[in-house]
């Protein structure tokens, strides 16, 4: 046989059913990483893909992918990885990666910077709210054309909690799989014990309420491996870890469905009876923001102009941009001069 004959035979072998008569299909899943600006999303993605690269700031919405083979001599499954940059300043870009075509195989990883508790709730609330609203719009449209798919998506999220779990009727699962990562644990670990307790219990409640997994991580190899295990479960269907760590003096690690409201306890506040709230989530928000007053939404906007960032420098483009800026300034001066002359003439 020639080399080409061998190549054709190899391709046919991969494309045809295996010895058991079962066709091995390539599985494709998508994950959107979002969270605090400079919160460590890129570092986590690179670690999951085992890439030895220096992380660069994410400009807007970036895409990469990873591939894994389930076993020897089988086609590799594909994970499409999207990263939303800019914290909460580019919320409208969420609708680009999440579509009706991939919703049934989509998941979200929310990376929250534990070293910035005053930004934590606002960032979390805004990103999850916009994502949830977008997903619900897609589900509403799918309901009219393919109600079976919608029912499967909703049931899959309900399955994170066993029917005999005491909180089964008390939680409100996020419409698609969600992992919450608390980053920069090395800085967080130096916080006062009571502060760590409030942050940890709050994130435990939010994660449990949304049917999400929760993990704290840092640049530590051991902690990154735990985060990687949860992400690999979303991306490639690897077995989900059953280990749990709920001690607020240690890094939290709680896979979805393995926590409970009774273990989490009530919000840590002495005057909780005086607080008015319509939902448990709203009550936890009030308690959290009493200790960590939030930054305004405007403060979290990314005001830096990417065009001035040296990492995106391109000589020809920058020269043309400078020329256009000069032309614009000249146009504005001429327009201003013409307007003043018009005013004088009218007198």
Could you read off the pLDDT of 208-226 as tens digits, one per residue? 999 999 999 998 888 988 9
DSSP structural state of residue 217: -
Enter the tokens of residue 93.
């870009």
| 112 φ/ψ angles, rounded to the nearest 5 degrees | -110, 130
Least confident piece of the model among 99-108, 112-121, 329-338: 329-338
pLDDT grade for 321, boundaries at 50, 70 and 90:
confident
| Residue 53 placed within a domain | yes
As a 3-state breakdown, the chain gives helix, strand, coil percent values, each rounded to 5, of 50, 15, 40
Q: Supply the pLDDT for residue 156.
A: 84
| Residue 341 placed within a domain | no
| Residue 326 placed within a domain | no
Look up the CATH number of the domain holding residue 88.
3.40.50.300
Paired sense of beta strands 61-69 and 76-84, if any: antiparallel
Q: Give the chain's domain count.
A: 1
| Residue 142 placed within a domain | yes
Q: Would you put residue 237 in left (φ > 0), alpha (ψ -120 to 50) or beta? A: left
pLDDT grade for 307, boundaries at 50, 70 and 90:
low
Cβ count near 228 (within 10 Å): 19
| Residue 31 placed within a domain | yes
CB 87 within 8 A of CB 123: yes
Q: Supply the pLDDT for residue 347.
A: 47
Range of the structural domain that residue 76 is part of: 26-291
């Amino acid at each position: 046989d020639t080399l080409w004959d061998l190549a054709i035979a190899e391709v046919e072998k991969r494309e045809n059913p295996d010895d058991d008569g079962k066709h091995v299909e390539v599985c494709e899943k998508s994950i959107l990483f979002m969270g605090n600006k400079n919160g460590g999303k890129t570092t986590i993605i690179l670690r999951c893909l085992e890439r030895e690269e220096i992380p660069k700031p994410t400009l807007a919405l970036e895409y990469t992918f990873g591939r894994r083979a389930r076993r020897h001599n089988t086609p590799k499954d594909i994970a499409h990885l999207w990263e939303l940059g800019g914290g909460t300043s580019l919320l409208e870009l969420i609708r680009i990666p999440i579509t009706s075509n991939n919703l049934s195989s989509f998941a979200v990883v929310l990376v929250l910077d534990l070293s910035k508790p005053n930004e934590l709730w606002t960032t979390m609330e805004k990103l999850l709210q916009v994502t949830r609203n977008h997903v619900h719009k897609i589900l509403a449209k799918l309901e009219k054309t393919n109600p079976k798919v919608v029912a499967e998506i909703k049931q899959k999220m309900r399955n994170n909690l066993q029917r005999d779990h005491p909180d089964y009727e008390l939680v409100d699962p996020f419409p698609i799989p969600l992992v919450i990562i608390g980053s920069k644990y090395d800085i967080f670990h130096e916080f006062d014990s009571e502060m760590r307790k409030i942050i940890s219990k709050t994130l435990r409640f939010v994660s449990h309420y949304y049917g999400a997994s929760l993990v704290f991580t840092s640049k530590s190899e051991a902690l990154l491996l735990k985060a990687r295990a949860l992400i690999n479960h979303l991306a490639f269907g690897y077995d989900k870890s059953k280990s749990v760590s709920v001690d607020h003096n240690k890094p939290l690690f709680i896979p979805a469905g393995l926590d409970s409201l009774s273990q989490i306890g009530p919000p840590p506040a002495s005057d909780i009876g005086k607080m008015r709230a319509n939902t448990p989530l709203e009550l936890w928000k009030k308690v959290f923001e009493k200790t960590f007053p939030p930054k305004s939404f405007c403060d979290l906007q990314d005001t830096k102009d990417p065009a001035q960032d040296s990492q995106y420098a391109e000589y020809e483009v920058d020269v043309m941009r400078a020329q256009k800026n000069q032309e614009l300034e000249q146009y504005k001066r001429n327009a201003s001069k013409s307007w003043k002359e018009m005013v004088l003439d009218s007198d």
